[in-house]
Structure 1
Amino acid sequence: MTSSASVPVSQSAPPLPSLGRRLAVPLAMIGGTAAATGYVAVVDPNQPGHYPVCPFLRITGWWCPGCGGLRAVHALTRGDLAGALHDNALGVAFCAALLGGLVLWASHEVRGLPRPQPRLGRTGTLALLAVVLAFTVLRNLPTGAFLAP
């Protein structure tokens, strides 16, 4: 009688790609974001003629959730947080979340950790949509004029 005992095969993780390969995509995203931000820093959105008018604003006369976003980024590049919040508070929050996400992604790649997978889920998505809708409506009402760019 022969014994056919199975010998466990060690499951080793595949080798990690080089640090340069792991950082290529997050650094490209950071570089693209920096280039776009640099352009907005140099080409002032407060001067007419440099950027197109918001089509939602043109058609409805209402500020959309993104109106004032370029002015907010321009103000942030000048270190003017109060001005940026005045131009588009939601845009400033989005910029902070984007920057934080890119830094988190790059730091995970440096440490060889799995890529972060942000998930809002149904409740989070509905809450985000509610915040955007409330911001849009409020900034177009007399009581929310402080949110208008």
Structure 2
Amino acid sequence: MLRKYRWVFLGASMVMLGAATYIYYIYDPAAHSWFPQCPFKALTGLDCPGCGSQRAVHAILHGDFREAFHYNALLLPFIPYLTIGFGYRLVKDPDERLMKWRRILFGEYAIKILVAVILMYFILRNMM
């Protein structure tokens, strides 16, 4: 059933992504209180690995990459990584070379490295 509505889901996702992009371009999350706050930070007072992502997205959309890096250093490298990951899902018949890169970038060891990087970022950003 999902294959039948694949293009509908893709279209709806693109519309939602466009709407979110517009909202984050127009409104600064640091200046408007109606943006969602981090529940982890509210409960513990610590910055989670995702804290600052909304402000970083706003800065990226305005071309201020230095400020975006200041808000959340992991977001800049993860945007292309996630884009590549979603791109792999759109390829219908991947060849062997493409499958090799998919295993390298999104295989078991890559996920373990990714989790380790996120944990180290969480620890280091709360120590400073």
**TM-score per shorter chain, which class?**
0.7 to 0.9
Q: Does 1:129 align with 2:122?
A: no
Aligned to 1:44: 28
Query: Residues 56 and 104 of structure 1: is their aligned pair in 2 closer, same or farther, counting only changes over 3 Å?
Result: same
Aligned pairs, number: 118
Name stretches of at least 5 consecutive residues in structure 2 with no aligned partner.
Answer: none
Normalised TM-score (structure 1)? 0.64
Determine if the alignment matches structure 1 residue 64 to structure 2 residue 41: no
Alignment-derived partner of residue 95 in structure 1: 79
Q: Which has the larger radius of gyration?
A: 1
* TM-score of the pair, normalised by structure 2: 0.73
3-state SS of 1:89 partner: coil
After superposition, the Cα gap between the structure-2 partners of 1:34 and 1:102, relative to the gap in structure 1 and judged at 3 Å, is: farther
> Which 4+ stretches in 1 moved above 3 angstroms?
21-31, 99-106, 113-119
Change (3 A) 1:99 1:125: closer
The one-letter amino acid paired with 2:21 is: T
| Unpaired runs of at least 5, structure 1 | 1-20, 143-149
| Of 46-55 and 27-36, the range deviating more from structure 2 | 27-36
**Structure with greater helix share of residues:** 2
Superposition CA RMSD, Å: 2.8
- What SS does structure 2 have at the residue aligned with 1:39? helix
The higher relative CO (CA closer than 8 Å, separation ≥ 6) is in 1
SS at match of 1:72: helix
